[in-house]
Structure 1
């Protein structure tokens, strides 16, 4: 239910730096729904595993996610 991932890139610096390890639960939001500000890990076609912050939850329950840097690959690039 838990997996260890190594951070590559700097899109969530200073919270996570290149080379840091994060422990990710594979049972997301079982008891509490996601909310803006939460940090999530997900697979995005064409980009692989990404770790980003939820910026907004749309009316159709899609998640807009962002990194801390303007160069981050996130919903501004691939959509909700």
Structure 2
């Protein structure tokens, strides 16, 4: 069957239909490509979120000591281990060295528990009291601000 028209535009109906089918298949491929790309982006975002969450929830973290407020327990440059799970099963006791967020600035610090008060709230002091900003400065620390118990590893990073 021929379409009626100018001789240069003489096109068969089957050619028109095959071209539209061709373009339709290209559109389907583009749609599949875009939906696959969206799926990849979503899966990647979910995996990145899960990885970030799992790193924060690791049972332990390594920290490098900065300053001498806990000397002789830990020296500046020494690596310590923070056990994040120990206090899920028990409360900090007097004498424990804990990692916590300071109430005034939210900075990560470590001090020794010197007293426990109702609430529970903890009075924290540095072992080197002349070189320590501790509960004498920022007050008592709530249980929610304590991250875990600190264990020294004995290794030191050179400056």
TM-score by length of 2: 0.47
Of 27, 34, 58, 2:117 maps to: 58
Name the counterpart of 1:78: 138
Greater helix percent: which structure?
2
Instruction: Measure, in 2, the Cα distance between the counterparts of 1:36 and 1:4.
Output: 23
Instruction: Measure, in 2, the Cα distance between the counterparts of 1:30 and 1:47.
Output: 21
Of 30, 50, 61, 2:88 maps to: 30
Over aligned residue pairs, what C-alpha RMSD do you find?
1.4
Instruction: Measure, in 1, the Cα distance between the counterparts of 2:67 and 2:136.
Output: 17
The alpha-carbon distance between structure 1 residues 18 and 72, as it changes in their structure 2 partners (threshold 3 A), is same
Aligned length in residues = 80
Q: Does 1:43 pair with 2:104?
A: no
Instruction: Measure, in 2, the Cα distance between the counterparts of 1:47 and 1:26.
Output: 17
Instruction: Measure, in 2, the Cα distance between the counterparts of 1:40 and 1:17.
Output: 15
Instruction: Measure, in 1, the Cα distance between the counterparts of 2:90 and 2:118.
Output: 18
Could you list the runs of 4 or more consecutive aligned residues of structure 1 that deviate by over 4 angstroms after TM superposition?
Answer: none
TM-score by length of 1: 0.90
Q: Between Structure 1 and Structure 2, whose CA radius of gyration is higher?
A: 2
Gaps of at least 5 residues in structure 1 are none
- Following superposition, the deviation at residue 71 of structure 1 comes to 3.1
